[in-house]
Amino acid sequence: MLGGVQLGILAACIVLFVPMGMAGWHLSRNKMLFFSGALFITLAIGVHLTPYIPSVSDFVTTVSSVVVFDSRASCVSQLHEVVWDVKQSDGFNPLSNNSVNYEKSWKWGRSASVIACDFQKLAPTDVADLLNGSWVVIAGDSQARLMALSLLDLTLDSQRMEAVRGDLFKRHSNYQILISETGMKLDFIWAPYASNLTDLMGEFKQNRSYPDVIIMGSGLWHMLHFTNASDFGFSLESLRSSVVSLIPLTPELGSEGPLTGSVSIRTPHLFWIGMPTLINSMLNTEEKRKKMTDTMRAAYDAALGDSKLLRSSGGPLLLLDIETLSWNCGVRCTVDGMHYDGVVYEAAIHIMLNALLIESHQKL
């Protein structure tokens, strides 16, 4: 193609300048005739070169797609620009510093870039529309359980939530619910270690059945019971390999031969639940205070980054940054220095939902 363009340009120069040079002296006395001839030749050259030059519409389409992509990527990076308002409640008790003494609320910041993204706190009807017919899996430890609770709180009425809360918080157990009104299925999987999550990804692949949305996280249990950041990093690398094996999902030949039956070719939307800010002095056991230090927490964060599990380091999962959300909400948003008030996980769920809107090119 490059050779064709060069030959076309050379031909154009010959066709344009040689005749014009030869005729220039004779036509110099009649400028109108000279420029008319030049225009005719130029138009002829334009027709000749058209096949070698991309159309204006194609160029505009290409530029437009790049701008849209950049806008989407920029908005995803702005999702955690959240501002908190924590103030004393009406029934404030000065003798108690319990989190129930404070009212908490949040909203997205008002910088020009955040405003341009038009993030929304989704109403229950919006959530129902967005997740209609979807299969959502939330897997991990108690942080994941709180995420599941916040998502259900956006989709169920208060009466049904009371019943759900008791079942969801049965100690170290799985939970499943199908919301008949929207067809949304939610599975909470108790999987406190990264190795549990790796096994879960293997089950999806083996069963050839893939959720639409996977939200998962790990780290707190490993920090408490193993206290070994290097080992945690190795387990995250294994998890990354298992997750990457799901992407993309295509009905092609696999290691076990042709895939049979119905196979989803949609790539799941993948999210990672970051560990919360740990307030060591508030942790409720001596073992936790001894093992879950700021130094150890930093080592676990470094292991997560080095594993390349997150998109920020080239991986497949988008971080739901519970650490930043909990840090900014502050000490008045937790009673045990590890588990935070529901408003923190509510903010994370809205961030996740807005990410889904961005990445699925939807607008409510």
Per-residue 3-state assignment (H helix, E strand, C coil) for 50-104: HHHCCCHHHHHHHHHHHHHHHHHHHHHHCCCCEEEEEEECCCCCCCCCCHHHEEE
Instruction: Assess whether 272 and 202 both reside in one domain.
Output: yes
138-187 pLDDT, tens per residue?
A: 999 999 999 999 999 999 988 899 888 888 888 789 999 999 999 999 99
**What's residue 51's pLDDT?**
53
Q: What per-residue confidence (pLDDT) applies to 67? A: 41
Say if 56 falls within a structural domain. no
Q: Are residues 26 and 88 in the same domain?
A: no
Q: Tell me the one-letter amino acid at 270.
A: L
User: Is residue 196 situated within a structural domain?
Assistant: yes
The reply to whether 182 and 91 lie within a common domain is yes
Residue 117 belongs to some domain of the structure = yes
At residue 195, the pLDDT reads 98
pTM value is 0.78
**Rounded mean pLDDT, 265-281:** 92
Q: Are 39 and 83 found together in one domain?
A: no
Residue 54 corresponds to which tokens in the numbers above? Answer: 């991309």
Cα distance between residue 87 and residue 78, in whole Å? 25
Closest CA to 343 of 78, 93, 121: 121
CATH number of the CATH domain containing 182: 3.40.50.1110
The number of domains in the chain is 2
pLDDT of residue 94: 67
Pairing state of beta strands 213-216 and 184-190?
unpaired
Same-domain check for residues 27 and 158: no
Point out which residues pair with 257 in neighbouring strands: 254
- Is residue 231 assigned to a domain? yes
Is 173 found in the same domain as 34?
A: no
What is the model's pLDDT at position 170? Answer: 81
C-alpha count within 13 angstroms, C-beta hemisphere, residue 256: 7
Q: Residue 13: its pLDDT value, please?
A: 57
Looking at the chain, how many residues does it have? Answer: 364
Do residues 116 and 207 share a domain?
yes
Q: What angle do CA 174, 319, 274 make, to 5 degrees?
A: 60
Residue 256 DSSP SS3: coil
User: What would the mean pLDDT of 63-83 be, rounded to a whole number?
Assistant: 73
Q: 27 and 84 share a domain?
A: no
Please check whether residues 177 and 281 belong to one and the same domain.
yes
3-state secondary structure of 278: coil
Question: For 190-249, what is each residue's pLDDT tens digit?
Answer: 999 999 999 999 999 999 999 999 999 999 999 999 999 999 999 999 999 999 998 864
Which residue range is the domain that position 172 belongs to?
69-246+265-358
Is residue 210 one of the residues assigned to a domain?
Answer: yes
pLDDT at 154: 94
In terms of Cα–Cα distance, which of 48, 51, 52, 53 is closest to 14? 48
77 and 40 share a domain? no
Q: Could you tell me if 42 and 73 lie in one domain?
A: no
pLDDT of 283-331, one tens digit each? 999 999 999 999 999 999 999 999 999 999 999 999 999 999 999 999 9
| 58, part of any domain | no
Q: So what's the pLDDT on residue 250?
A: 43
> Does 121 share its domain with 29?
no
pLDDT of residue 16: 55
Residue at 259 is within a domain: no
In a domain? residue 54:
no
